[in-house]
Chains A and B, each alone.
Chain A
Amino acid sequence: MWEYTDKVKEHFLNPRNVGEVENPDGVAEVGSIACGDALKLSFKLDENKRIQEAKFKTFGCASAIASSSALTEMIKGMTLEEAQKVTNQDIAAFLGGLPQEKMHCSVMGQEALEKAIENYRGAPAKAPGEQIICECFGVTDREIERAVRENNLATVEDVTNYTKAGGGCGNCHDAIRQIIERVRAEAKPAATPKMTNIQRIRMIEEALEKEIRPSLKHDGGDIALIDVVGNRVIVATRGSCAVCKASDITLKHFVEAKLRDLVSPDLIIEEVAP
């Protein structure tokens, strides 16, 4: 049995916004029945060009339905510019996390949103030059590149977990490996030069603000940066995190993992008493 969070279960059992918006401004369908999951997303804008209504229809497992429900809740009231910034990680974080093998459910949500916005703007659904890499699941090079870049994926298995590409016959594994190498090579120059301590602290603060706090705040928690000593990042937990028994796990598996991804792979999180 999958280890779903209570929030995933709750959104699966009581999904919000099921259906199709009447006279939608944007609509998109991603996935296919052969792949085992598919999502039809539609939305309508209000007079201020904010998303007034968003609805979904999903064929798929519990986490696909929960991700769709979460997505429609998250984007309500957003402008399209704001909605465009919603990532698959935001969807997963909203649900308190998804099993690694189920991350593709959150990616499907992000893709549907992106395509629905493109549909509203009248842009072509597929960028020119885009190529199908995984024939089994119809995944393109652009989609794989994006998943690798945004989730810092390193192996074919990661890519399969996030996009399904490579989960069928396996013929595309070499092509996926090449994409991973290409994307990781281009990503490196920005991240590897030696940082000054000031730069490092700035990057940690930025990562905390943009990537970590929003998720913690969803659950009524927060985090404060106390000091950075070498590779030790000293923090204090606030709000519900301060009294949460699972905060150690959150710090290790979420905060530390995020900081290692975004700033430097040698960082270690340490907590001081609140």
Chain B
Amino acid sequence: MKTVYLDNNATTQVASEVLEAMLPYFHEYYGNPSSMHSFGGQVARKIRDAREQVAALIGATPDEIIFTSCGTESDNAAIRSALATYPERRHIVTSRVEHPAVKSLCANLAGQGYRITELPVDKNGILDMEPFVDRLTPDTAVVSLMWANNETGALFPVEKAAELAHERGIPFHTDAVQSTGKIPIDMKKSAIDMLSFSGHKLHAPKGIGVLYVRRGTRFSPFLIGGHQEKGRRGGTENTPSIIGLGKACELAARHLDTENSAVRRLRDRLEKTLLARIPKCRVNGDIQQRIPNTTNISFEFVEGEGILLLMNEYGICASSGSACTSGSLQPSHVLRAMGVPFTMAHGSIRFSLSIYNTEEEIDFVIEKMPPIIERLRGMSPYWTSAAQACATI
């Protein structure tokens, strides 16, 4: 069975160019970039190139790029650095819809006595800027807001938020794991102090992340060890992955237009056709301020896990914000924060595309989804009464 992969916000396929760039650095050029001999030195040069490629994607300078092991490490390093470098401050501002990498860290820090403010979002998942400003205090050590939401794709006005934080002397961090490579990012024009992203969301391998730290920002390392990354992150470099990430960033810069034209068009066609062909469904999250590859659609009166498993029978991969798929008993914290009604939240499916998806794949999904939803609704005790209620109105 052919796989139709529409779960690119979970992880992506390593691009063949990326894999090709990496392969020699496992077996042939295995030297340690810190070594004095030229066998290691040639790897150090490749890492320098990769750092330039990564910096170019986000409009940074190479010395502002720190390689880490993943997005979660970058988020932890950024927030913990702010707390360590402003030890007198005990307050963190974040949002209710953050990724667990930030949300769980903040919950943990709350247990250590930090005050956490989780800003609410509106029904479209967009941050309200007015209460944001009110919550910034002289005690605030860091603001951490995600750029694009992983579940809905909704974009936060982080650049505006960063300016407002800066005016008050508060460092600003953003988790840009879902937005890097999907929207233009230029750190030269931004007030953001720290930015995290992850390789495996943009066709580099898993196990490599980036933390951007603006020049002049106070920084205290999370992993303490050797002099790697100028002492800002100890540990021998993951050379093949860093080299792969460099290539992936170069490709992402080149494909940014494709993401915002071809991928967006496929996403919009999928979304519009499903909404037209399946009654009682809706899009979760702002449809304008959104990354181009993501759509989160709720199918009322059915449950997400059942939908995913039936999709799985056709080789279609996606995700759900339903309780049953999360391992907890409540639907996703993102949908709850947006006030999505329970009848809708349990039946939410996230489709996230990549530049490798084709028109044929989208046609296939469009063909298979209506009977899947119909079949589950045929089993749902709520469907008939709901349909009847509609008919009488």
Q: Which residues of A contact B (CB under 8 A)?
A: 2, 9, 12-13, 15, 18, 29, 33-40, 56-65, 101-102, 136-137, 160, 164, 167-168
Residues of A close to B305: CB separation below 8 A: 2, 61-62
Please determine whether A62 and B306 come into contact, CB atoms closer than 8 angstroms.
yes
Please determine whether B346 and A57 come into contact, CB atoms closer than 8 angstroms.
no
Q: Check: B100 CB closer than 8 A to any chain A CB.
A: no
A-B contact pairs, 30 of them (CB 8 A): A12-B309, A15-B379, A34-B342, A35-B329, A36-B322, A36-B324, A36-B329, A36-B346, A37-B324, A38-B381, A38-B382, A40-B381, A56-B379, A57-B379, A59-B301, A59-B302, A59-B303, A59-B346, A59-B380, A59-B381, A61-B303, A61-B306, A61-B322, A62-B309, A64-B303, A65-B306, A101-B327, A136-B330, A164-B329, A167-B330
Contact with A along B349-393 (1 / 0, CB 8 A): 000000000000000000000000000001111100000000000
Would you call the interface of chain B mostly helix, strand, loop, or mixed?
helix
Q: Check: B323 CB closer than 8 A to any chain A CB.
A: yes
Residues of B close to A168: CB separation below 8 A: 329-330
Q: How far is the CA of A37 from the CA of B301 in the complex (A)?
A: 10
Partner pick for A36 among B309, B313, B323, B381, CB 8 A cutoff? B323
Q: How far is the CA of A160 from the CA of B309 in the complex (A)?
A: 24
Interface residue ranges of B324-360 to A (CB < 8 Å): 324-325, 327-331, 342-343, 346
Please determine whether B330 and A33 come into contact, CB atoms closer than 8 angstroms.
no
Please determine whether A33 and B306 come into contact, CB atoms closer than 8 angstroms.
no
Q: How far is the CA of A64 from the CA of B376 in the complex (A)?
A: 12
Q: How far is the CA of A18 from the CA of B374 in the complex (A)?
A: 14
**Chain B's nearest CB lies how many Å from the CB of A67?**
13
Q: A12-B306, A58-B381, A59-B302 are in contact. List 13 more A-B contacts (CB 8 A).
A: A12-B309, A13-B310, A13-B313, A15-B379, A36-B324, A36-B329, A40-B381, A60-B303, A61-B324, A62-B306, A62-B309, A62-B324, A102-B324
Q: Which residues of B contact A (CB under 8 A)?
A: 301-306, 309-310, 313, 322-325, 327-331, 342-343, 346, 378-382
- Counted as pairs of residues, one from A and one from B, with CB atoms less than 8 Å apart, the total is 77
**Chain B's nearest CB lies how many Å from the CB of A223?**
33
Please determine whether B309 and A33 come into contact, CB atoms closer than 8 angstroms.
no
Q: How far is the CA of A23 from the CA of B32 in the complex (A)?
A: 77
Please determine whether B346 and A18 come into contact, CB atoms closer than 8 angstroms.
no
**Chain A's nearest CB lies how many Å from the CB of B301?**
7
Q: How far is the CA of A18 from the CA of B310 in the complex (A)?
A: 17
Closest to B323 in A: A36
**Chain A's nearest CB lies how many Å from the CB of B307?**
10
**Chain B's nearest CB lies how many Å from the CB of A242?**
33
**Chain A's nearest CB lies how many Å from the CB of B18?**
26
**Chain B's nearest CB lies how many Å from the CB of A44?**
18
Closest 8 CB pairs of A and B: A167-B329, A61-B324, A61-B305, A57-B381, A40-B381, A36-B323, A34-B342, A59-B380
Closest to A165 in B: B329
Residues of A close to B301: CB separation below 8 A: 33, 59
Partner pick for B379 among A29, A33, A65, A160, CB 8 A cutoff? A65
Q: How far is the CA of A144 from the CA of B378 in the complex (A)?
A: 31
Please determine whether A33 and B329 come into contact, CB atoms closer than 8 angstroms.
no
**Chain A's nearest CB lies how many Å from the CB of B169?**
37
Q: How far is the CA of A33 from the CA of B325 in the complex (A)?
A: 16
Q: Which of A62, A101, A136, A168 has the most CB of B within 10 A?
A: A62
**Chain A's nearest CB lies how many Å from the CB of B127?**
24
Closest to A58 in B: B379
Residues of B close to A64: CB separation below 8 A: 303, 324
Closest to A38 in B: B381
Please determine whether A18 and B381 come into contact, CB atoms closer than 8 angstroms.
no
Q: How far is the CA of A149 from the CA of B24 in the complex (A)?
A: 61
Partner pick for A57 among B309, B327, B331, B380, CB 8 A cutoff? B380
Residues of A close to B309: CB separation below 8 A: 9, 12, 62
Please determine whether B327 and A36 come into contact, CB atoms closer than 8 angstroms.
no
A167 and B328 in contact (CB under 8 A), knowing A18-B378, A57-B381, A61-B322? yes
